[in-house]
Amino acid sequence: MNIDPTTHSTVYNPLSSQGQWAQHRFGKRDYPELNLDLETVLHSLDSISEGFFVFDEPIYLKSTYGDAGLWKDATRISKLVGGMLTISTYGMIPSKTVQTLKQHQAMIHVFCDGFEQECGKIFLGQTWESVANVLSLANSNAMVEFFVYEHNKHQIPFITTFCAQRSVKIKFTPGIKNDNVGSVVIDQEGNWLYDVVPVDLETEMLDDDHDHVQLREIKDKFANLKPVPLQRHLANYNSLRTFVAEREGRGLLDSPMVSHLIKHQQLQKFDNPNKEDIHITPSGHVAENGEEFYMFVNMLSPDWKMTNKTVSKIGITDEYALKTLYYAQKFDQEFLEKRKVQSYFS
């Protein structure tokens, strides 16, 4: 089960749903401040437990807009779930929280965008001091996901050694490409800072005790590289200057006006009947798969429209816009009532 418990975060990730979606590019999105109450989460967990909170499948706390490590009830859930729990975080969490999670044998999954001075270049507000503290306290109960870009690839040997010395697992993931050249990094106020260009390095979660040879090969490959300065690219400027944002939309929980100019039956090809994973949204609703969850959570922000005027401009080849319309029509008031945790698991 995947639980998104909060939209609160002290880190701003402009490459995530915090900063962009289909009809938004510039600055922080106006998503609501939401925090799941403990009762809702317990009700959800009880539905999949094999006894009194005994689980045979993992539980993930991971936030789309927020930082699950900052959710007020994270340690109360870890006390119940223990080693079956993994919490994803930007690493800006108090030492006491880290120590309690470790005591409960929960895993702490830290997203990291750079080592030492390069930390916080993409995850704005993230500091290496806090990340290093979390990893040093959690040790083998921590794992780092290091997002690799041209500007931070020279740090791979250093972050690898740092983690090995503390028995912290590490996973390398290619950075995100959202634009013509890598991704533009735009701060909360809408200022274009620079571009970041991803590097194609992807691994599983690696442990120095078992994967020493592979980690040594990775360190050797990226050893002795010089830092690459961050810059802005003309190709991205040309794309940004033509972007037109929707205005005065309404979020999913505020009864948005959704066009039926294209009938729901005509969009049935976008139906995803798979129920591979149950997701709990920060609003306390149930999504039955990852795609449904992704669309639902992004529509909580009021920066989108699916009125007749908007829909009339959608071309028949614009698959993403049509899929967005499909889900906007699907998420009606009846859906919202039926998918409340208490109703769904009754």
pLDDT in tens, 282-320: 999 999 999 999 999 999 999 888 889 889 988 888 899
Strand partners, 89: 110
Q: Phi then psi for 6, rounded to 5 degrees?
A: -160, 155
pTM for the whole structure: 0.93
1-5, 53-57, 93-97: range with lowest mean pLDDT? 53-57
Q: How confident is the model at residue 275 (pLDDT cuts 50, 70, 90)?
A: confident
CA distance 78 to 87: 9
Q: How confident is the model at residue 147 (pLDDT cuts 50, 70, 90)?
A: very high
Encode pLDDT of 30-45 as tens digits: 999 999 999 999 999 9
Residues 279 and 293 sit within 8 Å (Cβ to Cβ): yes
Encode pLDDT of 164-200 as tens digits: 999 999 999 999 999 999 999 999 999 999 999 999 9
CA distance 89 to 125: 13
- 20-59 burial, b for 16+ CB within 10 Å, e for fewer? bbebbbbbbbebeebebeeebbbbbbeeebeeebebeeeb
Residue with tokens 């049509």: 322
* pLDDT score at 346: 84
Give all domains of the chain, ordered by start, each with its CATH number.
2-240 (3.20.20), 252-344 (no CATH)
Q: Burial level of 166, CB count in 10 A (0-12/13-18/19+)?
A: middle
